[in-house]
Amino acid sequence: MDIYHTIIRPLVTEKSTHQSRQTTRRHGGTYSFEVHVAANKAQIRDAVEKIYGVKVLDVRTSNRPGKLRRFRFKFGQTAHTKKAVVTVDKDSHIDLF
């Protein structure tokens, strides 16, 4: 899988913006991304390091199942997504948020 297909988009929410600004002595902020469903943590780490030029310390992932929705007279389901929360080094910063 190509690194540009691994990361779909950054998730810009109120919580992710707050987490990106919090730093401690050992690590910098954390950034949230929507990633490809088949991507693993190593692929996500490589993609973020190569695309944004930062040093990644930790990657946490979670699968978000699609929700059941009603469309006119029948039921459908929204798409399943995968979310990755990436922690970067204290000297690194991503200028998206």
What are the backbone angles phi and psi of residue 33, rounded to the nearest 5°? -135, 145
Interatomic CA distance for residues 61 and 33, integer angstroms: 10
15-67 residue pLDDT tens: 888 888 877 777 778 999 999 999 999 999 999 999 999 999 999 999 999 99
| Angle, CA of 22, 84 and 91, to the nearest 5° | 40
DSSP-based three-state secondary structure for 93: coil
Q: Which of 74, 73, 58 is nearest to 24 (CA)?
A: 58
The reported pLDDT for the residue numbered 42 is 96
Are residues 1 and 46 in contact, defined by beta-carbon separation less than 8 angstroms? no
Using a cut of 0.75, tell me whether the model's pTM lies above it: yes
In the chain, the domains with their CATH numbers are 3-89 (3.30.70.330)
Compute and round to an integer the Cα radius of gyration of the chain. Answer: 15
Tokens 């950054």 correspond to 10
